[in-house]
Structures are given as structure tokens and as C-alpha cells.
Amino acid sequence: MSARPFQTEDSALRPLADKVLASTRLDAVDALALYRSADILAIGWLANHVRERLHGDRTYFNVNRHINPTNVCVAACRLCAFGRKKDAPGSYTMALEVAWQTAASGYSEAVTEFHIVGGLHPDLPFQYFLDLISGLKQRFPGVHIKAFTMVEIAFLAKIAKLSLRDTLIQLKEAGVDSLPGGGAEIFTERVRHIICDHKIDGQQWLDTARLAHQLGLKSNATMLYGHIENDEDRVDHLLKLRALQDETGGFQTFIPLAFHPANTPLQHLSTTTGFLDIKSIAVSRLVLDNFPHIKAYWQMMTPKIAQIAQRFGADDLDGTVIEEKIYHDAGATTPQGLRRQELIRLIREAGREPVERDTLYRPVTRTETSVTVAV
């Protein structure tokens, strides 16, 4: 824990700092004060205090592979550069064999997670997704499958003409082990109406997450920031997630996602600044007192910012990824993947202790072999 005393030039942060030091929950007024303050070092000091209270010097990462089976999507969200209409140039849908080969192409015995998300395809039957998952489980029985956002789950339920509950149960039986945090964006209707009009609304996202948690599936949660939302929208989003977490305890990690405007209908907007990226990590660590982990997703924030974030509240960087499409279609200039040794170097240089984890944050112990060195 830092031996340095708390200092701030912003008097609005003083009462709030007392609360953090006493482990007292912050309220909406506190959260707004954090977003409105420019004293990033003071906010970072507090977030780092909480982060070290929870995790000491540990920073988590994993060896994973992303698979995006299709980019065909009926939704046409303005925030997105990934989705395409069926038959539009650049649209693709993987045959099951191709999806399994894609999994195998970046696979080594070091991989512990497949992260699977895609578009809302109008014609793919529910059985395709069940076969995709059960085929992966058959071929890679030791790999955790983190698949389908709440938005995809709700869409699949519609396609399958099943209840959300039965949809989740069938996916779980096929081999889904947990759910990623995407599709949450910003919950307020005013913003959702503009950036992702065709998706389920914020309440439905939360209801689907609640149901998944009740069925024993852990999930993550995200917030897309840096577009048309304001501070109140961000606070509303965090508090809704915190309230649901009080109820279910099913969230593992919160991931603030910086909006990438290139190639989207919102490309006139500016990209986020490093200041907002760091502040988003720190504020979420302080407000989401019941979330075990805050992830600075390096693909999204760049390895440089994600590394600094490890001293501003984050305790996770995500993983090797191997092949990323969603942000790269939206102009991301980060590499497609990072090698395990490179993640370890980023973490060590930030003065943190790298802990390789599986999706459920159990430490993965391995001796360095040609396999682990190669990933």
C-alpha cells in the first residue's frame, strides 16, 4: 500500500477521499465529482489504494483467442464498424468447420479461453451456435468458452423462439462457461437511441445478465465511453451495474471501452484522450466497490495506457487475443495480438506481479516450455 499521503488540489475530492479510506460506499454525487475533477493524480491515488487493498501488486492476464463467427448483423448500430448487412462487401459467416479451424489456428496448449462474439445474423439457426460451441468443447475440452453478449443471447432467444432462460440453459449445456461483457454500451435511453437503436434496451441487458447469473453463469460488464454520453449517463450506468452486482454477485470484471469512431457513422467524433481513458478506469474502480476486477483492455486503450492504468485502479490487462476485428475495423492501430512474454514485460515494468489466470481468475501455473514461450 502506498506510503505517500493523499493530497488534492480539488476540495470536492476531500470528503470523498475520507469515504474511500473508510471503505464507505460512494454515491451518485461522489461519482459525478470524480468525473468532473481534473485532479487525476488524486483520483488515481484513491483508485490505486482500493486496487492494492483488493489485489496487492498482482496484475492478471490470460492466454486467450478471440473468434468472431460472423459480422453479418441486422442491428446497424452507429457505434459499430464491424457489422455488415448480409451480402454487403466484406460480410462473412464462418462455416462451422472454418470456425473450429480458426480456433485451432491460434491454438496451443497454453490457450485457456475462447472469447466468442459476433453479429446478429438473421438466418443462422440457433442450432448453428449450439453446434459451434459443442464442437469446440469436443475439440478443446480444457478451454473455457466465454461466449455471446447479452444482446446476442436475447437475439438467439428470438430466433429460437425460446425463453431467455431456456436459451441460456441450452447454451450452457452445449458448453458455454461464462459470458463476456459487451453490448452494455450506455444504459440511458437517450444515448442508446442514438448509438445502438436496434439493440435490446438497458433494462433488458441487465435482466439477461441477472438470469445468466442465476443460472450459474458468471459474466463481465462493459461501458462504452467517449462518444455522446455525459457524466450523468456514466454514473447512471455504473450505479445500475453495482445494484445488480449487489443482487447476484455474478459479475467478475468491469471493462471500460473507449469509443473508436473511425469507419462508423459517428466518425466525426474525436477519439478519447489518455486522460479520459485513465480517469474511466479509476472512477470505475472507486464506484464499483463490489466488482472484484477492473480490466484495462490493452486492445482498446493501447498497451501504453493499459500499462499505466495498472497504477490507476486496474488489475487486469486481458490477454494474448491473437486476432481482433471489432476495434480494428473501427481504426484501432494496436497490434492484433500480444505475446505472453510481452504482457509479462508490460506488467513487470509497471512494478506489478504478473499472474496468469484462467477466465474465472484461478491462477494458471506452468513451467516455461517451448509452448508457453511461443504464445
Of residues 255, 294, 301, 355, which one binds ligand V47 by CB under 6 A?
Answer: 255
What is the DSSP secondary-structure string of 79-132?
A: T-SS-B-TTSTT--B--HHHHHHHHHHT--TT--EEEE-----SS--HHHHHHH
Contact 158, 230 (CB under 8 A): no
- In terms of Cα–Cα distance, which of 228, 227, 208, 230 is closest to 219? 208
Q: According to CB under 6 A, which one of 185, 229, 236, 315 is a site residue for ligand V47?
A: 185
Please, what is the minimum distance in Å from the beta carbon of residue 365 to ligand V47?
Answer: 22
Query: What is the dihedral sign for C-alpha 49, 54, 59, 65?
Result: negative
Using rule CB under 6 A, residue 143 touches ligand V47: no
Instruction: Restricting to residues 63-92, name those near ligand V47 by CB under 6 A.
Output: 79-82
Helix (H) / strand (E) element for 160: namely helix 150-160
Distance CA 238, CA 294 (A): 12
> Does residue 106 bind ligand V47 (CB under 6 A)?
no
Cβ distance 96 to 126 under 8 Å?
no
Nearer to ligand V47, 183 or 303 (CB): 183
Stretch 213-252: interaction string toward ligand V47, x if CB under 6 A:
-------x-x-x----------------------------
Chain centroid to CA 345: 22
264 binds ligand V47 (CB under 6 A): yes
Torsions phi, psi for 360 (to 5 deg): -95, 15
Q: Which of 129, 259, 298, 312 binds ligand V47 (CB under 6 A)?
A: 259
8 Å CB contact between 330 and 80: yes
Residue selected from 120, 257, 306, 375 as contacting ligand V47 according to rule CB under 6 A = 257
Using rule CB under 6 A, residue 212 touches ligand V47: no
Nearer to ligand V47, 33 or 244 (CB): 244
Binding-site string for ligand V47 from residue 113 to residue 132, where x marks contact by CB under 6 A and - marks none = ----x---------------
* Centroid of chain to Cα 210: 17
Q: Is 161 helix (H, G, I), strand (E, B) or coil?
A: coil
**Number of residues in contact with ligand V47, rule: CB under 6 A?**
24
Q: Which residue from 60, 297, 298, 312 is in contact with ligand V47, where contact means CB under 6 A?
A: 297
Binding site for ligand V47 (CB under 6 A): 79-82, 117, 149, 180-183, 185, 220, 222, 224, 255, 257, 259-260, 264, 297, 318, 326-327, 330
